[in-house]
Structure formats: structure tokens, C-alpha cells
Structure 1
Amino acid sequence: MTEPNIHEGERLDGLPSQEVKVIQNPDMFAYSLDAVLLAYFANPNKKGRGRTVDLGAGTGAVGLFYAKKVTGSVTLVEIQEELAAMAKRSVRLNGLEDRVSVIHADMQEVFDQIKPGSVDTVLCNPPYFPIKEKTKQNEDEHYQIARHEVAIDLPKLAQTANKLLKNKGKFFMVHRPERLGDIFAALTDRGLEIKHLQFVYGKADREANMVLVEAIKQGRSGGVRILPPIIAYTADNQYTEQVQTILYGKAWTLD
């Protein structure tokens, strides 16, 4: 790992289990547990030897965490120039320039740089909240794009993932359980059949606040499997043993 190139207002965060450091600016946007769990959940074809694209990569957290458990190439696509620049510095910091690259572009306009139908796996931690007349949006542009469907919505995301993926390629996403109806409609209408769901609970006695989704391009319809849940915190607000292992345990391996 090289010496970090940290700018004013930035900080260095990391994931000990994967031995990855990520440069972030909390005034713009910073990753949280959902990014870690998406990278952990993603179980690609070909034992990770194929090409992966992380759409809406932000500072690169998902793609960088995931890259350490696969051997194939990973491309991070990010529309915001400042976040893409931070991701590039994090790639260098972690010594992953040989396998991880960053494209500063709108994901819907990336096909001149990534050939349609050439990707084995697509990852995405998209904006969770739809734009509605009464939606209360954060005034900061970086947070608006990251949290609200300003630049991309679920149908357009599904169409982009479908266009990038090879037949039988996999799509992995983290989202909110209350959007499951929209998620199923957007993905299945665009040739992405949902195969696995895993719900994440803040605490065992609360409703799920995240859902991890795996879909396959041109997969057979039906046969959705619900994986055992992930519980994030104990009653006294400490990480559960399950999450402690994900964050601080041995390096992740593919099934």
C-alpha cells in the first residue's frame, strides 16, 4: 500500500478484513455499512475471474472491498468528478491499478468505454429515494445525487445493467425493503430475474432496513430464495458477532 494522498477536508477510512483503505470527504459523501455488506454479498460467476462494473461507485468503496476477493478486473463508474478523483487515488493507495480502473461518466453513457454485453458482474449501491413533489432533499448536490433518484432511477439502472451484462451475468444491489415492489418490477421488466434476497436488520426486534438483491440476466423466472438475515447491532448498540466478523475477521472468500 502506498502513502495516502489526502486533501484538505478528507479522511482515510478502511475495512480491516479486506485490508482496504478508502479516501473520503464526509462533507460530500461517505460510505456506510450498506456498501460493505453489498461487497460481501456479491458472489459472482467464474469464481470472480470475469469483469465487474460498479455503477455509481462514489469514492469506490464497494468496488475496492469486492476487488480483494476476486481476481478479475473491476471498473468503477462515477458521475461526480470529485468523487471519481478520490476513487482513483484510493485505487493507487491500495495498489490495485493493475485490476481496478475508474471511469468518470454518467452510467447511462458509458457504452463507448465499456462494450455492451461484455460484463460478467454488475454491482450497484444506488440512490434509495424517488423524486416526488414532497420529497425533502438535502440541499448539497453530492448528497442529492447519492440519496435521491436525480441522475438515475430504478428502471434506467436496470436497463443499464442489462445492457452491460452478458447473458447469465449477475447483478447485485443493496436497497430499501420498502422499494421491493419497484425493484421487482424494474428488474424483471428488463430481463433481470431476481434469484436471492437477504434482509438486513438494525436490531433483531426491528423491521429490516436494507435488502441485498441478486439477479441474473435472462435467468429462469421464479425460484427466489431468501437467505438468512444479517443483524447489525446488539441490544446495547454493539456490532453483532456476524458483522464483527465481516468487518474485522478473515479476508472474504467466494463460495
Structure 2
Amino acid sequence: MTEPKLQPGERIDELPSQKIRIIQNPDMFSYSLDAVLLAHFAGVKGKGRGLTVDLGAGTGAVGLFYAQKVLGPIKLVEIQADLAAMAKRSVALNDLTEQVEVIHSDMKTVFDQIRPGSAETVLSNPPYFPAVETTKQNLDEHYKIARHEVAIDLPELAQVANKLLKNNGKFYLVHRPDRLADIFAALEGRKLRIKRLQFVYGKAQREANMVLVEAIKAGRPGGVRILPPIVAYQEDNEYTPQVNEILYGEPWQA
């Protein structure tokens, strides 16, 4: 790996199980457990030779973690220039320039760079919160776009995913359980049939704080599977064995 020259405020974080290192700047945006769990949850069709697109890639964490599971090309789409630049440097840091490409673009207008109907898999860790007036006043620009639906909302995201995917291609996203009604409406309204759900709990006996979703383009209605839950932390605030294995164990199997 080529060691980068870090800019002020930057650091390098690593996911040991995948042997992937990500350049981050916490003052702009940094990935968290949701990105790791999404990349782990996302399936692989066949030998994974098809195109994967990561929408709203940020610093590239989801797509780079997933890259270890597939053989095909991956395109990371990010609207913010600073984050796209960091993602590009992380691609080089991990010697993945032959497989992974960073596209600095609004995902809603990315179709001149990614042909519609060409993707086997689309991944997204999108903004979780609806845009409100206080959003524009109280948040740093990087966090505002990353966390609130100011650049794209759920129906628009679902439409982009639908347009990028081949028939029977799969869309994977991570979101908040309290947005499930919005998620179902957005995906079903754009012929993305939900097939698998997995809920994530901060600790046992608490409400779920995350949901992982798999949907298939033009799939048959029904047949939704609810997978066993993931519990992130033990009562002593250490990771559970399940999550510890995802973070620090053997490379993930496709």
C-alpha cells in the first residue's frame, strides 16, 4: 500500500477483517458501524463480476469494504468534492484503482457516467433525516448533506437505484427503523421489491436503531425474510462476539 500524505485533521481508520484502510476527517464526515454492517449484509450474485455502484459514497467506506467480496468493478458516487477526493485517495491507499472508481457527481445526474440498467448491485448509506428549516441553519455543510435529505430524498434515491439496476439486480441500504414506512413506500413505488430485512440493536432489550434492507428490481411481490437480529454492544459497552467477528475476524464470505 502507498502511504498517503494526510491533510490537517485527517486520520486513517482500518477495518481489520477486510484489511481496508479509509482516510477520514471527523470535522467533515467519518463512517460508523452502519457502513460496516451494510457492506457485510450486502449479497453477491454469482462470482460478483457485475458492476456495483455505491450511491452517496462519502469517504468510500461501504464500497471499499464490499470490494473485498467481489471481482467486478465498483463505482463510488459522491456529490461533495472534499469527500470524493478523500475516497479517491483511499482507493489508491488500498491499491484498488484497477477495480474501484470514484465519480464526483450528484447521483441524480450520474447517468452520463454510469449507463442505466448496467448495475448488478447498488449500495447506499443515505441521509437518515428529512430536511427541515433548522437543518440549513444549524449544521456544517458536510454533515447537513450526509445526514439530512437536502440533496436527495428516499423516493429520489429509489428512482436512481431502479434506473441503474438491471432487472433482478439488487439494492441494499441501511436506514433507521422509524423510516420503515417511508422506505417501503419509496421502494415498492419504484418496482424495488423488499426481500430481506435485518434489524440492528445497540444493546439487548432495547429498540432497534438500524435496519438493513435488500430489495430486488422487478422482483415478485411477497416473500420477505426477517433475518436474526444483530446486537452491537454488551452491557459493559464492549462489542458483542457477533459484531467483534465482523470487525476483527476472518474476511467476510460472499
Fold agreement, TM-score > 0.5: yes
Whichever residue aligns with residue 206 of structure 2, its letter is R
Q: How far off its partner does 1:240 sit?
A: 0.2
| Distance in 2 of aligned mates of 1:2 and 1:75 | 21
Alignment partner of 1:220 is 2:231: no
CA contact (8 A) 2:135 2:144 kept: no
CA contact (8 A) 2:135 2:148 kept: no
CA contact (8 A) 1:44 1:170 kept: no
Q: 3-state DSSP class of the match of 1:244?
A: helix
1:40-79 superposed matches below 5 A:
40-79=40-79
**Cα offsets for 1:75-100 (capped at 9, x unmatched):** 00000000000000000000000100
| Distance in 2 of aligned mates of 1:89 and 1:220 | 41
1:85-164 superposed matches below 5 A:
85-133=85-133, 138-164=138-164
Aligned to 2:17: 17
**TM-score (structure 2 length as normaliser):** 0.98
**TM-score (structure 1 length as normaliser):** 0.98
**Cα offsets for 1:60-118 (capped at 9, x unmatched):** 00000000111111100000000000000000000000100000000000000000000
CA contact (8 A) 1:137 1:144 kept: no
| Distance in 2 of aligned mates of 1:156 and 1:86 | 26
CA contact (8 A) 1:39 1:63 kept: yes
**Cα offsets for 1:110-150 (capped at 9, x unmatched):** 00000000010000000000113566874200000000000
CA contact (8 A) 1:137 1:148 kept: no
Figure out how many residues of one structure are paired with residues of the other and give that number. Answer: 254
Greater alpha carbon shift after TM alignment, 15-24 vs 37-46: 37-46
Q: 3-state DSSP class of the match of 1:214?
A: strand
Q: Could you list the runs of 5+ residues in structure 2 that have no partner in the other structure?
A: none
**Cα offsets for 1:27-86 (capped at 9, x unmatched):** 000000000000000002123211000000000000000001111111000000000000
Q: How far off its partner does 1:5 sit?
A: 2.7
Q: Could you list the runs of 5+ residues in structure 1 that have no partner in the other structure?
A: none
**Cα offsets for 1:210-233 (capped at 9, x unmatched):** 000000000000111000000000
Q: Which runs of 4+ in 1 moved over 6 A?
A: none
Shift of the 44–253 alpha-carbon distance from structure 1 to 2, 3 Å rule, reads same
| Distance in 2 of aligned mates of 1:138 and 1:148 | 12
| Distance in 2 of aligned mates of 1:189 and 1:245 | 37
CA contact (8 A) 1:39 1:62 kept: yes
Aligned to 2:249: 249
| Distance in 1 of aligned mates of 2:195 and 2:76 | 24
